[in-house]
Amino acid sequence: MSAADPARRGAAPVLVVGFDGQTASLAALRTAADLARRLGANLHVVHGVDVRDYPIDPDVAVEVWEGHAREALGHLDVQVRGALADHPGNWTYHASNGDPVRLLVTVADEQDALMIVVGTHRHRSLRRMTRRSVSRTLPKAAHRPVLLVADPGD
C-alpha cells in the first residue's frame, strides 16, 4: 500500500531504526526518536538476532547458547526502553532472527516507512572490518532513504 492509497491517508508516518546496542546505534535511536517526535511519526526499532547475540564458545550446550541470547536480547530491550522512556510518540521494538539488513528492509517495506535510520562508525576497527557492515550494505538494499548517524565517540 502506498501513501497515496485511501487506507493510508491520515496514518502517521513511520521511521524504522536499526539497533544493536552499540554506541552508534544508540545515537541512531536517539536521532530517530527526535525525528519521529518532530514529524509525528511512529517509530519501529528493529534488531536482527545474529551470532553476536550468542556466546563465543562453540562447545557450550544449546541451552547455554539460548540462555545467553535471551539475556543479550533482554539487555537490548532494557536499553531501548531506557532510551525511549520520555518519547511521547508510539514505538515498537522488533527482535527477529535473520540478517539485519534484510530485516530492516522488510520491516521498512511492510510499514511503508519514510526512511531507515542506522548508526555508523567513522573509524573501522579490525573487528568491525571482519563483519558485514549494515551501514554500508543497507543503502544499496533499501527501497527508501537511509539516514546514517555517526557514532559520537568516533
Q: For every one of its 154 residues, what pLDDT tens digit does the chain have, with 9 covering 90 and above?
A: 444 444 455 689 999 999 998 899 999 999 999 999 999 999 999 998 765 555 556 666 667 667 777 787 888 899 999 999 999 999 999 888 888 999 999 999 999 999 999 999 765 554 444 456 888 889 888 989 999 999 887 6
Say what the pLDDT of residue 3 is. Answer: 45
Say what the pLDDT of residue 30 is. Answer: 95
Residue with cell 557450550: 60
Cα–Cα distance for residue pair 56/10, rounded to 1 Å: 47
For the stretch 71-98, what's the b/e string if a residue is b when 16 or more beta carbons lie within 10 angstroms of its beta carbon?
Answer: ebbeebeebbeebbeebebebebebeee
Q: Label residue 126 exposed, middle or buried (CB < 10 Å: 0-12, 13-18, 19+).
A: exposed
**CB atoms near residue 19 (< 10 Å):** 26
Cα–Cα distance for residue pair 153/72, rounded to 1 Å: 23
pTM of the model: 0.80
C-alpha cell at 116: 531507515
Contact yes or no for 144/116 (Cβ under 8 A)? yes
